[in-house]
Structure 1
Amino acid sequence: MLERPTKTTRAQHAGHRDRLRARAAVGGIAALPDYELLELLLFRSVPYKDTKPLAKDLLARFGGFEGIGAASHEAIEDTVAGALGYAKGKATRAIALDLQLIFEVTRRAAKEPAAKRPVITSWNALLAYVRVALQHEPREQFRVLYLDNRNQLILDEIQNRGTVDHAPVYPREVVRRALELSAKSMIIVHNHPSGDPTPSRADIEMTRQVVEAAKALELSVHDHLVVGREGVASFKQLGLM
């Protein structure tokens, strides 16, 4: 059951919120520490509670904004319930959904520059997108960016999801899908939940198989990007393809 706020607690929270908003307006939102920025976002979802503990708990549990964005609805809701002292229910679900909506908008905003321009000439935008999409995924995920003859993005498709250290890949399926989409080339992307983006021997062998299968049908594989919390490794830059 939710705690009914008193006039005193409402006034205290309103005063804190007004002061934080004033500081943001004067010093600029970019000057706020992460927990205060998250506090501001939570004001709309949590009208009568102190949101500072929740903001700090979310950042601590998930390791930062990108971790929150990659977290499951259930994990976010558990943190919300614990920090606010709420029983899980309609209110906690709504707060968790609000957070997921915010981070989904962020992901789509990061994707737009790569999708609107030829991918090969928007390399920085592409790297920013794959990091937002995969850097904090708790399980390995294998994706393919299919491109047309102008290197424009046709589709970013999740081919498979796996365990914490493996996602099965089927080179024939990767190539078959390229033919279905009339793609001319592709970029392979997967993540290492361990955080280290260094390609493994299995990654190198899998890439070789995909490149050979694509080459037989006159399709190009521009690169294979491995995403980890420590950065993004490019097979092409490493001389692995």
Structure 2
Amino acid sequence: MTEQPEIAAHKAAVPHHAGHRERLRERARGAGIHHLPDYELLELFLFRSQPQGDVKPIAKALLARFGSLAAVLAASVEDLMTVKAEDTKGRTKGIGAETALDLAALHEVSRRVAKEEPAKRTVISSWSALLAYVRLSLQHEPREQFRVLYLDNRNQLILDEIQNRGTVDHAPVYPREVVRRALELSAKAMIIVHNHPSGDPTPSRPDIDMTRQVIEAARSLSIEVHDHLIVGRQGVASFKQLGLM
């Protein structure tokens, strides 16, 4: 039977993504949100920031640009705003300042939730929680950061402090400043953490030398350095496990 012209015209006028939002929400409610692929999970979040239009192209463009969901959330507001995608009508659509800020806020929420676990429990015995926290905080940082986790006499977290930010391959470190800060906080131990934006967490000779300087400066004041963790996209390297301290 031939379709009525007015019905055909109406179908042509309705965009293919009409009803997609509700269908995706129903699928998330039914099968469970944890079953959704990364781009659809990102779509669900973008629905809030962009209440109209098809957000699937921009969700996929974000993942293509940064490589993973974790990297999307870790991206800076400025970098997020450079992402563009073409909608079904051939129009270019991008990430605005408000959407970029929403994504940055989601990353910060995730970081703080991950931090709660090692903060509430003994850090040294919560090894998996510690690794999850440092990876979330630093794995996709585009610039090198040097951080110190200062611990009390029960090995509980007092403060995670960024001591310095640097370039793509170097962040200056001053061992005396690291130890001075430990004294200010009445810390009894510390874990050194920094990232390699190259992705390879293998310690370099300067990393090893710097760690030994911090250990020596801390030892004279009865402050223990439990470990030095280097975070990269390929994993986390532990100086203690590698026999470097």
Q: TM-score over 0.5 for the alignment?
A: yes
Aligned to 1:212: 216
Alignment partner of 2:23 out of 12, 19, 23: 19
Per the alignment, residue 51 of structure 2 pairs with 47
How many angstroms apart in 2 are the aligned matches of 1:129 and 1:14? Answer: 39
Higher relative helix content:
1
Question: Gaps spanning 5+ residues in structure 1: where?
Answer: 1-7
1:67 maps to 2:71: yes
Larger radius of gyration: 2
Deviations for 1:15-43, whole angstroms, at most 9, x for unmatched residues? 11111111112211111111011011111
SS of the residue 1:238 aligns to = coil
* Native 8 Å contact 2:57 2:85 kept in 1: no
The RMSD of aligned alpha carbons is 1.7
Residue number among 173, 176, 179 corresponding to 2:177 in the alignment: 173
Find the partner of 1:111 among 115, 125, 138.
Answer: 115
* 8 Å contact from structure 1 (residues 145, 155) kept in 2: yes
Q: How many corresponding residue pairs? A: 230
Which residue identity does 1:141 align to in structure 2? Q
Q: 1:37 pairs with 9, 34, 41, which one?
A: 41
Describe the SS at the equivalent of 2:128.
Answer: helix
Percent sequence identity is: 71
SS at match of 2:81: helix
Paired with 1:237 and 1:41, the residues of 2 have a C-alpha distance of: 39
Report the Cα offset of residue 98 of structure 1: 1.1
1-side partners of 2:18 and 2:194: how far apart? 45
Question: Quick one: structure 1 residues 182 and 83, their matched pair in 2 at CA, closer, same or farther if it must change by over 3 Å?
Answer: farther
Which residue of the partner structure matches residue 3 of structure 1? none
* Alpha carbons of structure 1 residues 82 and 172: separation in structure 2 relative to 1, 3 Å: same
- Give the direction of change, closer, same or farther, for the CA distance of 1:87–1:108 in structure 2 (3 Å limit): closer
Q: Distance in 1 between matches of 2:115 and 2:194?
A: 16
